Amino acid sequence: MTTPMNIRAALVTGGSGGIGRAVAERLAKDGIAVGVHYAGNKASAFDAVAAIAAAGGRAIAVGGDVAEPGDMTAAFEAVEAEFGGIDVVVNTAGIMLLSPIAALNLDDLDRMYRTNIRGTFVVSQLAAQRVRSGGAIVNFSTSITRTQFPTYGAYAASKGAVEAMTMVLARELRGKEITVNTVAPGPTATPLFLQGKSDADVERLARAAPLERLGTPEDIAEAVAFLAGPGRWINGQVLFANGGMA
């Protein structure tokens, strides 16, 4: 396949659904070719690729475990082979297992940290080595690191680690013209977020923000598109995309 040499390309981990898919589709609207990454849901990834193509964009699906360097090296290489390089890496892949700290199963802790911390580290490490000058790396945290809701302790701790590595990596890439930031969504209307919550719980969380609604995946994707595109003077920061929650 012939690829224009000036095309920008992105890899979006967890791009097969939820916020990740919204990010992939939003970047494609800006003319960025996208590698839509999936871990287990191959069909959803190919559906996202088809939707991007139907809207006039370019995309491929790439699979793998974000915590496995071999898998993710192959994913990076697939995007580079298809589009000529990588300019944007967005780490939306993550899992959330909730429990009071006193009762948390440590196997769940290890599982969550493997994806959220090790996975982000593996992908960020490869991104630091391979993203072209002028590019952007966008990691994902959560507004729970500020709101401190009960049962979210281990999850918030994993995302606090993501924020810390983001700050350090931004400074380690001095002189390479690559920005590194974190987006920290508030309550966002995805199937994962809504699962297991009563209507009253959803309404309470929706009213927590001054805008009095849940965020949408598209709201979060706009923040990512800004950091991946015109937001070149924002670097080493955590952007709380949460409608004004404390």
Which residues are catalytic, by number? 155
Long-range Cβ pairs for the range 166-170 (8 Å, 24+): 166/124, 166/137, 166/139, 166/141, 166/236, 166/238, 167/236, 169/124, 169/128, 169/137, 170/235, 170/236
Coil, strand or helix at 182: strand
CA distance 116 to 158: 6
Written as six digits, the tokens of 232 are: 């070149």
CB 110 within 8 A of CB 154: no
Written as six digits, the tokens of 238 are: 């955590």
Closest CA to 188 of 147, 218, 146: 218
Written as six digits, the tokens of 87 are: 């300019």
CA distance 150 to 100: 7
Written as six digits, the tokens of 71 are: 């898998």
Cα→Cα distances 105→100, 114, 130, 154, 197, Å: 10, 15, 37, 10, 21
CB 67 within 8 A of CB 119: yes
Name the strand (E) or helix (H) holding 121: helix 120-130
